[in-house]
Amino acid sequence: MNASSPENAAIGGIDWASLSSPELARRVGPESVALLPLGAIEQHGAHLPLSTDVDIADGLVAAMRERVAASRDLLILPTVAVGSSLEHGDFAGTLSLTPETAIAHLVDIGASVARAGVRRLVLFNSHGGNKAVVDLAALKLRERHGLLVVKANYFRFTPPDDALPAEELRHGLHGGALETAMMMHLAPHKVRQAELGEAVSLGAHQERAGRTLLPEGDAGFAWMAQDLHPSGVVGNATLATPAMGERLVAHFAARLASVIEEAYCFDLAQLRERSPQ
């Protein structure tokens, strides 16, 4: 029996789309949590597929389902596969929504979740280009529908100790060891082993020259992927191993499970109504 079937709903949540409309209406309660995974279809160099961000989002959600408390009413929405990928638009295969469209898309999904009676929504994002979209959509949903909207970006989770060199964590932002290792664990058949290599980021060159203005950090600059490296990826994919990927997936999935637990236990009375004008 599949863990996502209605009969097995107590094990690691249930897929929203697997329920009938009356089943969904009956099960939604004040503590229900909806989880919306967000990915992207975009270039990840020659060694990883266009589906990398979606594969990682879905893989982390699957691993989370083995860790989340069975008593929690977790409803897993269909993954949003296409996000805002403007920074990768000059490379073949990238699909992208404009930021305005991406924000509106998430707000409309969130509004539908609110109409179903769910008041707790976790936006779980696996693509850096979606971060600003998630921030704005979450605020709109809080303002319009009074939802608790949790913004969870796995790449903002603290990684396990000594999983990767510090410089790789800082600069291997796209297609580097971290993403490659997780793909080696989650979808090894999709990794083009012969294409693994190292692409040193403009950010790493800046840092080595004593500069503090980097692509990301306390003061960053807007960048297109080719600005950081002509290949469109940055980082040292040769450092990746399946064992590292397994460790990363387990670590990030455990953190996601704890985020869902916090969302479930959050006192919604702390979200105050607007003051009278």
Structural domain boundaries in the chain? 14-269
The answer to whether 75 touches 118, Cβ cutoff 8 Å, is: yes
Q: What is the predicted pLDDT for the residue at 275? A: 63
The answer to whether domain 14-269 has CATH 3.40.50.10310 is yes
Q: What is the predicted pLDDT for the residue at 224? A: 96
Q: What is the pLDDT of residues 19-54, one digit of tens each?
A: 999 999 999 999 999 999 999 999 999 999 999 999
Q: What percentage of the chain carries pLDDT values higher than 90?
A: 90
| pTM, rounded to two decimals | 0.93
In whole numbers, what is the pLDDT of the chain averaged over residues?
94
Q: Compute CA distances 222 → 58, 98, 129, whole Å.
A: 28, 16, 11
For residue 20, the tally of other CB atoms under 10 A from its CB is 9
**Rounded to the nearest 10 degrees, how much is the dihedral formed by the CA atoms of 138, 142, 148, 150?**
10
Q: What is the predicted pLDDT for the residue at 272? A: 85
SS3 at position 177: helix
pLDDT at 9 over 70: no
For residue 178, the tally of other CB atoms under 10 A from its CB is 27
Greater pLDDT, 11 or 202: 202
